[in-house]
A and B are shown apart, each in its own frame.
Chain A
Amino acid sequence: MSNLLGKGLIDGLVVTAKNFVGSYFDGNRKDRLFTYQYPEERMKLPENSRTFPFLVYDGTPDQLRCTACKICETECPPQCIYIVMERDANGKPLQRPRVFDIDISVCMQCGICAEVCPFNAIKMDCDFERSKHGRFEDLLVHLPELLKSNEYYHQIKSAEATRVDATRKPTKKPAAGTKPEKI
């Protein structure tokens, strides 16, 4: 009876009928209607996903980890990072950036900056909604926009951030006017 007249046609109809009815009654999201309705609902991005770099700070934004060592600037393949070190009134270099610009229209999201950073200061973000109205100035991201807290880092990549926290030595660099605190 396997070659019954029109059996294949009926089998196909059964499959589509199951899909149709199941899409209304199945609670299981994995099998039916697995599309995320994007602007309203979002998928949790996997930890290894990466878009553009951001700078991590501990506690308050002036306690940023970056020392303006310029390793990321030299290593960046498309040369999209621009750093100017902060100097005090006497011209003595302070270990933090005065200017830290990333041109995200040039950035190719390779993540090499994050890999070479000896201070775990620059990390890759998961935020992909970065479209802007202007092509030039709007896509040049400056220091204040680049700063994200360590908590945010934990939020998007908890396992990696915990690993980083475990290997980090207590910071030597005091934030302006405060005692160094233990991390």
Chain B
Amino acid sequence: MDAIYQLIHAYCPTMPDLLALVLAILLPIAIVMGVFLTVFALLTWVERKALGRIQNRRGPNRVGPVGLFQPIADGLKLLTKEDIVPDAADKVVHFLAPVLVVVPAFLVLAVVPVARGFVPVDLNIGVLFALAVSTASVLALFMAGWASHNKFSLLGAMRGVAQVVSYEVPMVLAAVVVLMAAGSLSSVTIVEAQRGLGGWFVCKPWGFVGFVIFQLCAMAEVARTPFDLPEAESEIVAGYHTEYSGFKFALFQMGEYVAAITMGGITVTMFLGGYLGPGSDLPKIGWLISACWFFAKFGIIVVINIWARGTWPRVRVDQLLGFAWKLLLPLSLVNIVAMAVWHFSPSKLVGWVASAVLLAVAIVALVRLNAGAAFEKRSYRFTS
């Protein structure tokens, strides 16, 4: 923001101070919104194409070249549809919920450093802000479920709340190791702490485990398959947005999708080294290369998300909560210990081996402890 403010001053010294300040505030917002809304539209298309190929279909291929304009067609269709509000609904809350679901998703983008020197706001509590605000969307989700006055909506909302609250805990604990390593909550400082060959946190044993836990929790947090219980079609129609149509429905879809995108951005920032990469420090074009690096790493997260969605079936409610409380939570606690071992070990090699062994033992032990009762092999009387 300050850099843009100074840039405006340098090129148009005659501009009034207030106007320059407003411009300096609005310009990054416009850039971030523009870029990420485009990414959102493109990603819906990419996801549908990829899912189609995974399921031996072609995906959308009718609107525009290879179906590229499909997001526009979808948007127009939803805009022109009738907006239905149930008679028994709480009208005000029913209206507010879709608005509120989009806001936190976009707010998180404020602290994601997309390129070197480009972060809308470099908060000194960036990660805390991101984690706190992204959870706020569950409030909108519950508002939608409650206000719809529909059993399916309410069931979906209850599931959503249980899921987000449960997965918030291991998620924050998985983020703690990154904060310990970087010694800061600022997202830019975290990225800068991952400089050097193999400096990305995902390349370290605690970082890798933290990355896996964080990624799984992020998928659960934004209710993507295989954790999409709040909107499980086969059980509760469409979950909390059963009673929404037209553009309000589109807002829900957009809120979820943008939340998934921003969570991906946070994951990239915290574990994959954000915008860092060869060439990101070049003087003139470094910012462009660093942006490319950011979006390339973001692409990895997208691939993981789509691949997981195309492969794994939806888990049961008890499996979902058990997974969070009985496996991810203890593992993330052990992960913090592993980070401490790494930090206090005399040499790098000792730290590597010690933390890796500790984590491997913990994973095997937790899986053994959580293994369900093995059923004895059935024998049938009349078959050989």
**In the complex, which residue of chain B has the Cβ closest to the Cβ of A3?**
B371
Inter-chain CA distance A13–B50, complex, in Å, is 13
Query: Given the known A-B contacts A9-B312, A12-B312, A13-B311, are A19 and B364 also in contact in the complex, defined by CB atoms under 8 Å?
Result: no
Task: Identify 29 residue pairs between A and B in the complex whose beta-carbon atoms are under 8 Å apart, listed by A's number.
Answer: A5-B363, A5-B364, A5-B367, A9-B311, A9-B312, A12-B312, A13-B307, A13-B311, A15-B311, A16-B54, A16-B311, A17-B307, A19-B53, A19-B54, A19-B55, A19-B56, A20-B50, A20-B53, A20-B54, A20-B310, A23-B53, A23-B56, A24-B53, A32-B56, A33-B56, A33-B57, A34-B56, A37-B58, A37-B61
**In the complex, which residue of chain A has the Cβ closest to the Cβ of B367?**
A5
Inter-chain CA distance A12–B226, complex, in Å, is 13
Which residues of B are in contact with A by a Cβ distance under 8 Å? 50, 53-58, 61, 307-308, 310-312, 363-364, 367
Inter-chain CA distance A24–B311, complex, in Å, is 18
Say if the beta carbon of A131 comes within 8 Å of chain B: no
Inter-chain CA distance A15–B363, complex, in Å, is 26
**In the complex, which residue of chain A has the Cβ closest to the Cβ of B363?**
A5
* Residues from chain B with Cβ under 8 Å of A9 in the complex: 311-312
**In the complex, which residue of chain B has the Cβ closest to the Cβ of A10?**
B311
Give the shortest distance, in Å, between B351 (CB) and chain A (any CB).
Answer: 25
Inter-chain CA distance A16–B56, complex, in Å, is 9
Beyond contacts A20-B53, A32-B56: 15 other A-B pairs, Cβ-Cβ < 8 A, are: A5-B364, A12-B312, A13-B307, A13-B308, A15-B311, A16-B310, A16-B311, A17-B307, A19-B55, A23-B56, A33-B57, A34-B56, A35-B57, A35-B58, A37-B61
- Main SS at interface, chain B: helix
Give the shortest distance, in Å, between B366 (CB) and chain A (any CB).
Answer: 10
**In the complex, which residue of chain A has the Cβ closest to the Cβ of B310?**
A16
> Which A20-40 residues sit within 8 Å CB-CB of chain B?
20, 23-24, 32-35, 37
* Residues from chain B with Cβ under 8 Å of A34 in the complex: 56
Inter-chain CA distance A5–B310, complex, in Å, is 21
**In the complex, which residue of chain A has the Cβ closest to the Cβ of B61?**
A37
Q: How large is the interface on A (under 10, 10 to 19, 20 to 34, 35 or more residues)?
A: 10 to 19
**In the complex, which residue of chain B has the Cβ closest to the Cβ of A13?**
B311
> Which A42-88 residues sit within 8 Å CB-CB of chain B?
none
* Residues from chain B with Cβ under 8 Å of A17 in the complex: 307
**Pairwise interchain contact A16-B367, C-beta atoms closer than 8 A:** no
**In the complex, which residue of chain B has the Cβ closest to the Cβ of A21?**
B53
Inter-chain CA distance A56–B228, complex, in Å, is 59
**Pairwise interchain contact A16-B58, C-beta atoms closer than 8 A:** no
Inter-chain CA distance A28–B58, complex, in Å, is 15
**In the complex, which residue of chain A has the Cβ closest to the Cβ of B364?**
A5
* Residues from chain B with Cβ under 8 Å of A20 in the complex: 50, 53-54, 310
* Residues from chain A with Cβ under 8 Å of B363 in the complex: 5
Partner pick for B307 among A5, A16, A37, CB 8 A cutoff: A16
Inter-chain CA distance A5–B363, complex, in Å, is 9
* Residues from chain B with Cβ under 8 Å of A33 in the complex: 56-58
Inter-chain CA distance A17–B308, complex, in Å, is 10
Of residues A16, A23, A33, which shows the largest number of chain B Cβ atoms within 10 Å of its Cβ?
A16
Give the shortest distance, in Å, between A12 (CB) and chain B (any CB).
Answer: 5
* Residues from chain B with Cβ under 8 Å of A23 in the complex: 53, 56
* Residues from chain B with Cβ under 8 Å of A24 in the complex: 53
* Residues from chain A with Cβ under 8 Å of B61 in the complex: 37
**In the complex, which residue of chain A has the Cβ closest to the Cβ of B308?**
A13
Inter-chain CA distance A9–B312, complex, in Å, is 7
Inter-chain CA distance A111–B308, complex, in Å, is 50
Inter-chain CA distance A34–B50, complex, in Å, is 16
- List 5 A-B pairs, minimum CB-CB distance, nearest first: A23-B53, A16-B311, A12-B311, A16-B54, A20-B53
* Residues from chain A with Cβ under 8 Å of B50 in the complex: 20
**In the complex, which residue of chain B has the Cβ closest to the Cβ of A32?**
B56
Inter-chain CA distance A20–B54, complex, in Å, is 5
Inter-chain CA distance A17–B50, complex, in Å, is 10
Inter-chain CA distance A112–B306, complex, in Å, is 53
Give the shortest distance, in Å, between A19 (CB) and chain B (any CB).
Answer: 5
Of residues B56, B312, B364, which shows the largest number of chain A Cβ atoms within 10 Å of its Cβ?
B56
Inter-chain CA distance A5–B364, complex, in Å, is 8
Inter-chain CA distance A161–B57, complex, in Å, is 37
Inter-chain CA distance A32–B54, complex, in Å, is 10
Inter-chain CA distance A19–B61, complex, in Å, is 18
Inter-chain CA distance A34–B55, complex, in Å, is 11
Inter-chain CA distance A16–B51, complex, in Å, is 9
Inter-chain CA distance A15–B54, complex, in Å, is 9
Inter-chain CA distance A104–B54, complex, in Å, is 42
Give the shortest distance, in Å, between A18 (CB) and chain B (any CB).
Answer: 10
* Residues from chain A with Cβ under 8 Å of B308 in the complex: 13
